[in-house]
A = this chain, B = another copy of it.
């Protein structure tokens, strides 16, 4: 039986994903980003690793068939169906510091993916320090030849999705991104389905 949730913009959710099941992340309205991070449910010292994954794959754009590795170089997810093919795995989730450092016009508190992931994982004794570079689903990040990184509007359309097949029992945090700037100025929800 498929279970589904709608994640309102600027919030997050923890989903327990058993080994072999599929987490489908859906962009119901288009151009919204979802930050995903994961821990091994049996040992939360093992977590999703951008560096291990990009190193082992020899590429920074991940899509169907690619394995996403943990910090112990063990498979955590395999990517199944992917109707977009453009996801970032280089940058960290937006945080209060992101808004303070990068958006000088901003003042005071701003919701963030790091805060929302931290809240989602907190019941399992996980803190913000443990949350590394996220898989930024539907985020359009372009490393350019001159060494700069462009963050462009996402290319996902309403209904686009990516399937993450769990290779172990996982605790997965999923957000609907909090940053106006990288979601083309409009914040919309993210839908998630857990398929056995």
Contact = CB atoms under 8 A, between A and B. Distances in A.
Interface residues of A, number: 36
Copy count, this protein chain: 2
A128 B70 CA distance: 12
Contacts of A72: 97, 128-129
A91 to B, nearest CB: 4
Contact of A51 (B58, B71, B91, B148): B91
A149 B60 contact: yes
A46 to B, nearest CB: 7
Contact of A59 (B54, B92, B147): B147
5 tightest A-B CB contacts, nearest first: A61-B147, A51-B92, A73-B97, A51-B133, A143-B143
